[in-house]
Amino acid sequence: MKQADSLRAVSARPTNEDFRAMLARMERAGHLRRVKKTIRPEHITALCGKAPAAVMCEAVEGYDIPVVGGLYWTRARMASALGWPEGELGTRFAASVARPIAPEAVERAACQEIVVSGDDVDLTALPIPFMHEKDGGPYISAGVAFANDEKLGPNAGCYRMMFRTRRELGIDLFTASDLRRYYQAKFDLGRPLPIAVAIGVHVFEHMAAAYKAPAGLNEMHIAGGLRGEPLQMVRCKTVDVMVPANAEIVLEGELLPNGWTADEGPFGEFAGMQGDLKRNPLFRVSAITHRKNPIFYALQMPWENDWLNGPATEAACARVLGLAGIQVAAVRATEGGCCGWSVVAAIKKRAGEGKNAIAALLSLPVVKQVIVTDDDIDIYNSDEVEWAVTFRCQADKDIVILSGMKGKHVDPSVRPWDLKPGELPTTSKFGIDATIPEGVPAFRYERIVPAFLNEIRVEDYL
């Protein structure tokens, strides 16, 4: 089907909050700071890593385009971008996914205020930064790729792209994804796949694209659910692909049918480790469209990438626990587990549900380790979680280990270099049941309370 089939045509009207409005809201909340001093593009990643807030570099040496980075570096910044309370990221994401809203098509869009096409295309006009010490080149890290398939319909996903020439980028399609499936179908016919890559989209679109939605489900319907209103989209100038109308920059073009032959990488991976050199397809750019005075977004690895997935992980955990009949109090995808590999869940436990919760959570593909606590534990306090593990867990009874489960190439402990070409890795997973053991009365865990606590006011003495 054509993309227009899933879009409702309307006249252009500026109802959608865009990337710039999101930045302004983050700045008002103290989560974004402007940098006036001139900075070299290769220094931006280091500044983002050291700064106490996201940064907008307004004077980038050699360019007239500002660069913003570090937007989703912490749970607090992600919550600020979304406009949601920190403790409700997973629950709000789950509720939004459950009520998708179809996009609307517009005829005119801010992302096409300036159009450069054909031989005039020059990617060196964009301040694409060199990000990590051992990267293979400068990288576009915040691109959201849009494509269409005659049978499965439109798709959006997040893919890194390495600068190669003024009109070509390498794109990482090494692992399984919907875009790889779309590309494989065209590659088998010896034909290119038209795509468009949007840079500088609202967090709602970015998060929806990062979400592992079922094949055939348009991620921009999810973006509409996150927004609570239809996302406005526009057709590209040189390819039959729809993109968010308020994107800052859009790269239009084709994935060439060269297959997995062009060197791409290394690149700093989302797990916080330097990746390997890969062989990947090429993206040839036919047009660059952008807003007047565009902003270039340089997503910083690993935390920005991880937090885009964190709420979806928490929502998936709550969903599988609910399917298992377990009452969930809270779920946290931990920073140390890259907001997906390690999960802590608090439940209102009935007999046996500590182990049931572990089994349910470890069934999720990305989750590798789990701690389950009772609902009296503050799972956002690592000392509280450690206390529960220390005093409510017996290692020989309460640690569950599962072998031969689905793994990820990015995890060095699965030794991916030993795998045969095309072979998928397996991994071991474990869970810790840190709930009050069956047979131990709850009063054994009663916390101490200072005598006459409510009769004393500190300000009367200090």
Q: Does 402 have pLDDT greater than 80?
A: yes
The pLDDT, as a whole number, for residue 3 is: 45
Is 324-445 a domain of CATH 3.40.1670.10? yes
Please state, in angstroms and as integers, the Cα–Cα distance from residue 394 to each residue in 140, 346, 388, 436, 438, following that order. Answer: 48, 18, 11, 11, 12
The pLDDT, as a whole number, for residue 270 is: 64
The pLDDT, as a whole number, for residue 14 is: 42
The pLDDT, as a whole number, for residue 214 is: 67
Is pLDDT larger for residue 53 or for residue 151?
A: 53
Q: Quick one: what percent of the chain has pLDDT higher than 90?
A: 71
**pLDDT tens track for 356-397:** 999 999 999 889 999 999 999 999 999 999 999 999 999 999
Q: Does 2 have pLDDT greater than 80?
A: no
Distance, CA of 175 to chain centre: 16
Other beta carbons within 10 Å of 338: 24
> What CATH superfamily is the domain 3-304?
Electron Transport, Fmn-binding Protein; Chain A (2.30.110.10)
Q: Does 354 have pLDDT greater than 60?
A: yes
The partner residues of 243 in beta bridges, in order of sequence, read: 234
Rounded to an integer, the average pLDDT of 39-60 is 94
The pLDDT, as a whole number, for residue 302 is: 80
Residue whose structure tokens are 């869940």: 345
The pLDDT, as a whole number, for residue 29 is: 96
Q: Does 422 have pLDDT greater than 80?
A: no
The pLDDT, as a whole number, for residue 180 is: 92
Which residue in 210, 214, 193 sits closest to 201, CA to CA? 210
CB 75 within 8 A of CB 86: yes
Q: Does 6 have pLDDT greater than 70?
A: no
The pLDDT, as a whole number, for residue 271 is: 59
What are the residue boundaries of the structural domains of the chain, listed by start? 3-304, 324-445
Tell me the average pLDDT of the chain: 90
pLDDT band at 150 (very low <50, low <70, confident <90, very high): confident
**pLDDT tens track for 333-351:** 988 887 788 999 999 999 9
310: left (phi over 0), alpha (psi -120 to 50) or beta: alpha
